[in-house]
Structure 1
Amino acid sequence: MSKNYVQIDPKDNIIVAITPLEKGLKTLVAGKEVVLKENIKQKHKFSLNNFNIGDEIFMYGVLIGKATETILEGCAITIHNVVHASATFNDAKEKFTWTAPDASNFKNRTFNGYHRADGKVGTANHWLVIPLTFCENRNLDVLEGALSEKLGYETKKDFAVDTDALIKKYKAGATSEEILNTPIITTKEEISKNRLFPNVDGIKFLKHDGGCGGIRQDSEVLVKLLAGYITNPNVAGATIFSLGCQNAQIEMLQKAIEDIDPNCAKTVHYLEQQKSASERHLIEEAVKHTFIGLTEANKISRKPAPLSKLTLGLECGGSDGFSGISANPALGFASDLLVALGGSPVLSEFPELNGVEQELINRCETAEDSKKFYDLMRAYSASAVAVGSGFENNPSPGNIKDGLITDAMKSAGAAKKGGTSPVVKVLDYTEQVTKPGLNLLCTPGNDVESTTGLVGSGCNVVVFTTGLGTPTGNPVAPVLKMSSNTNLYERMNDIIDINAGTVITGEDTIETMGEKILDHIIRVASGETPSKAVLHGNNDFIPWKRGVSL
């Protein structure tokens, strides 16, 4: 984008400022000259026309708001003069056609992954330790302390302290000066080099606050989510802690695993504390069974796999006014490329699809899925209204500050992550991705809850676009962070993997950036380039309790 302002769609009657624009600047948009009547902040918008109270405002070609006061041509669009509004929709499909992009540059590409007995391929190889109730979280802490550093896995810091070295020195009669000169700090890189099981990427501890209390449905949903994590292709097996009396029973988890994979070949060890001789005995059994599980998981190694085995989670968080014109559409093009190659991108965050429902309904391949998406969106919206809220409350203070002033504006940009391909399946929370092509998954707009849900439904890699920056990661799937602007990439390079700001500056097109994204995904999926979230040990895991979460 070489200009300092842009009209995204010919139907749009507000214009995006690519750079800060000063009052008095003459702009030429679609042959019309507009003189700015006030300063316009970068990423914010100005009016192409005069608006009266109640007039509809369009961006990305869709309704995103209505004027709440008179707005003169060339004035700033703000939360003070515009209110959220979105287009109506119904469950009747309209005609839709799609032409797949040219994916010839990736035709013969593969990634090196972990092949599972069910035919899926992982981009990582993890062992999970999971509590069925929050009462068992402490036992996970004990197990983590016993295994992680000793086996060469990540610590909670960027380094580990080798106190054993000081103990050996002391017992050998070392002087105070000798003790002071003894190196005891070990970096994460050094710890990783000493891994006993080099083919196991990590032991992940999925602590949570559920499994008992609340309503029974919360525990039922949690169990299905945990089953999705155990059957995820990035997982080799699991150790399960149960107290015994909680709502989330072992039998429920076993049934949920069977529902996903009736012939599940993964090793899952179940330990119930109320049947154990003592807590010490419980921990001893857990350590031994987990250690044996790791020895088996280590026997598998990476082998080439087709790109059709990639299930790509599409996520955004900390979005800004550039997200919908750089990072999200570029990721959408990568999604379309993956669909053309037989892969499965997954678009989630249903509160952030508000206003583009009809487009997605039209893109559904079946009337059944159109109806399912319609019903899920209506039910979600109604549940928010029932507690005195609504989708219009989704944009965060950070979103608004950086130019996303209504939910429909935010949603129209967020939906770009899903590209333009047909929707092959609509999934409710915890339902599994089984069909190649673009899937829609019902999750909240909350970053971590949504990412947690994507991986629980089978995603083996996630790309997370952001305009403001976030360290979010996941215990099981690598999460690649992509910035919408170069300034963010340069300031937070330690946590951002890809820079889509080159689309804003004109160095890349949406298409060339999309190809770069897919290339980066392949390298991460092959274990060649670790994501920044993995390097920093960002293992965020928050199950959704199906209450109202925007």
Structure 2
Amino acid sequence: MTPAIAASGATTASTAGAGSASSGATTSDAVAAATAATATASPLLRLHRDDNVLIARQVLGLGQTLPEFGLRLKAQVPAGHKIAARRIAAGEPVRKYNAVIGVAARDIEPGEHVHAHNIALVDFDRDPAFGADVTPIDYVPEAERATFMGIVRADGRVATRNFIGILASVNCSSTAINRIAAHFTPERLAAFPNVDGVVAFAQTSGCGMSSPSPHFDLLQRTIAGYARHPNLAGVLIVGLGCERNQVAGLVESQHLVAGRNLRTLVMQDTGGTRATIEAGIRAVEAMLPEANEVRRQPVSAAHLKIGLECGGSDGFSGIGANPALGAAMDLLVRHGGTAILSETPEIHGVEYMLTRRAVSAEVGQKLLDRLAWWEDYTRGHNGQFNGVVGPGNQAGGLANIFEKSLGSAMKGGTTPLQQVYQYAEPIEQPGFVFMDSPGYDPVATTGQIASGANLICFTTGRGSMFGSKPAPTIKLASNTPMFTRLEEDMDINCGQVIDGTLTIEQMGQRIFEHILRSASGEPTKSELLGLGDHEFVPWHLGIVS
């Protein structure tokens, strides 16, 4: 098993003066180079033999000499940032993992700090080469697959948690569902120890929107995805009564089946706010005894669907945490499970790394079609898709969206891309898949959970305080200083790869084992902190009328 680190295949510069962007690197070569680099105590990391930049493992000072690299630093360089390994002429491609992340905006001398101030973002013609890097998956025999202690529903679906969920069809019923959920304090739930909680999924749309429309369809699909999620033992949907997103229409159009474990209330019919809250409490109370009857039992890891997320990325994210998570996902896929990569703007510039792994031209083209949609959607706006990354990303060493995408894509590992899905579309194909979404963490994760993810793995370099329900979030720190500073929020320290104490493959094995424990009910750090009640954020596409 080898995690994905570098792009393979060729890109051709389409901007005058950019020169050839051809990359002869293979994934295996890049993994070997990166593993060797991080296994030493050197203050600089060389990620690929053909790179013209090096990565600072720690803060390096102006004038500091690094004789093993033949360099004298011309600036103070923060940890995770890039240093010119040699002279880079103006217009020459800047290479990291032997992938082009931009061109030199001016002549850059050896030992200079290389970042947004002297890298120009240019677009390149990228050959999608559909399927060129597809390799057979070495599946683990079913009898030998890893297991976790899951909750098996009557229809065969497998859960990792056991909540009762309350959904609002419209913002106008969001206060009511929050009041219903708030009634079920730990003291009131003490008689139901197998129920993880009663959680409200309030949202801010549902009425002042065009319908029919893509936004309307997306909202209904998201709500329905939560309503049928295996981690919810019971569901209550509450509407106002005059909204566009009518409860009856939602249930009918999404083929939901009302019954003892899926109930609905309409405030205008029930008698108003207080009456609805009281009726909602009674409805949940009626569902609790059956929800409490569940017992965990050993089930195959093939039942795991993992949403892959990154936020607050830094220069180390794409060196340790993301490729290590990719290594864990390669293991998961070999055991029959599903890995869901998302955040479409954050594969911009390296999409060919995925299309080359597409099992068919049709699947590869679906991914390109989503990127084309995003290009049109963001045209004229100062969005990440157009090149500029967030202040935290820049402070952490990422110069532009191409560099960020290079690291982000590594979360998906190396196995073939099996399918591409729309936001919140039910994911039925096992293996490595892609779900279209924005790069905004709560929105992307909401879509993944609606698609069926029963656990989220979230890498972060700057430090994210994210949590989610009903599927829990495991947070993976990219560097040891941040992990130590924010240990109450971080589950796994992938900084051990940067420190040279673990290889990417060893870290991937640890992540996989941690996933199995968390899926079995071991609380994540975000669960211990009580996070996840406010992170249900469906994607808003349309105008508000």
TM, length-normalised to structure 1: 0.86
Matched AA of 2:160: T
- Report what 1:331 is aligned to: 325
Indicate yes or no: 2:473 matched with 1:479: yes
Residues 310 and 344 in structure 1, CA contact (< 8 A), matched pair in contact too: yes
Indicate yes or no: 2:223 matched with 1:226: yes
- Report what 2:66 is aligned to: 26
Residues 63 and 87 in structure 1, CA contact (< 8 A), matched pair in contact too: no
Counterpart-to-counterpart distance in 2, 1:95 and 1:415: 17
**Unmatched tracts of structure 1, length 5 or more:** 153-194
- Report what 1:168 is aligned to: none
Q: Please show how residues 365-404 of structure 1 align to structure 2 within 5 Å.
A: 365-387=359-381, 389=383, 391-404=385-398
Per-residue deviation, 1:9 = 2.3
Indicate yes or no: 2:69 matched with 1:75: no
Counterpart-to-counterpart distance in 2, 1:304 and 1:509: 30
Counterpart-to-counterpart distance in 2, 1:66 and 1:265: 60
Indicate yes or no: 2:198 matched with 1:203: yes
Matched AA of 2:395: K
Q: Deviations over 1:61-103 (max 9, x none)?
A: 2111121122112211022111223543355515223365796
Q: Please show how residues 119-268 of structure 1 align to structure 2 within 5 Å.
A: 119-152=156-189, 195-216=190-211, 217=213, 218-258=215-255, 267-268=261-262
Per-residue deviation, 1:417 = 0.6
- Report what 2:527 is aligned to: 534
Q: Greater CA deviation, 67-76 or 94-103? A: 94-103
Per-residue deviation, 1:393 = 4.2
Residues 115 and 398 in structure 2, CA contact (< 8 A), matched pair in contact too: no
Q: Secondary structure at the match of 1:504?
A: helix
- Report what 1:14 is aligned to: 53
Counterpart-to-counterpart distance in 1, 2:488 and 2:196: 21
Indicate yes or no: 2:512 matched with 1:518: yes
- Report what 1:4 is aligned to: 43
Indicate yes or no: 2:349 matched with 1:355: yes
**Unmatched tracts of structure 2, length 5 or more:** 1-37
> What percentage of aligned pairs have identical amino acids?
35
Counterpart-to-counterpart distance in 1, 2:316 and 2:95: 17
Counterpart-to-counterpart distance in 2, 1:401 and 1:369: 36
Counterpart-to-counterpart distance in 1, 2:337 and 2:217: 30
Residues 424 and 449 in structure 2, CA contact (< 8 A), matched pair in contact too: no
Matched AA of 2:65: L
Residues 490 and 525 in structure 2, CA contact (< 8 A), matched pair in contact too: yes
Higher radius of gyration, 1 or 2 = 1
Counterpart-to-counterpart distance in 1, 2:184 and 2:471: 21
Residues 209 and 542 in structure 2, CA contact (< 8 A), matched pair in contact too: no
- Taking structure 1 as reference, are residues 411 and 105 closer, same or farther at Cα in structure 2, changes over 3 Å only? farther
Counterpart-to-counterpart distance in 2, 1:461 and 1:266: 26
Q: Deviations over 1:128-152 (max 9, x none)?
A: 1111011111212321232234423
- Taking structure 1 as reference, are residues 106 and 16 closer, same or farther at Cα in structure 2, changes over 3 Å only? farther
Q: Secondary structure at the match of 2:317?
A: coil
- Taking structure 1 as reference, are residues 507 and 269 closer, same or farther at Cα in structure 2, changes over 3 Å only? same
Equivalent in 97, 102, 113 of residue 65 of structure 1: 102
Q: Deviations over 1:23-54 (max 9, x none)?
A: 2423545xxx4443333221110112322332
Q: Deviations over 1:245-270 (max 9, x none)?
A: 11112233213542xxx779882111
- Taking structure 1 as reference, are residues 44 and 547 closer, same or farther at Cα in structure 2, changes over 3 Å only? farther
Counterpart-to-counterpart distance in 2, 1:10 and 1:105: 40
Per-residue deviation, 1:108 = 4.4
Q: Deviations over 1:525-547 (max 9, x none)?
A: 101x2001111121111111136
Matched AA of 1:250: V
Q: Deviations over 1:269-326 (max 9, x none)?
A: 1111122234333222211111111122112221111000000111111111111111
TM, length-normalised to structure 2: 0.87
Structure 1 stretches of 4+ with a deviation exceeding 4 A read 99-106, 262-266
Q: Secondary structure at the match of 2:295?
A: coil
- Report what 2:459 is aligned to: 465
- Report what 2:409 is aligned to: 415
Residues 150 and 519 in structure 2, CA contact (< 8 A), matched pair in contact too: yes
Matched AA of 2:231: N
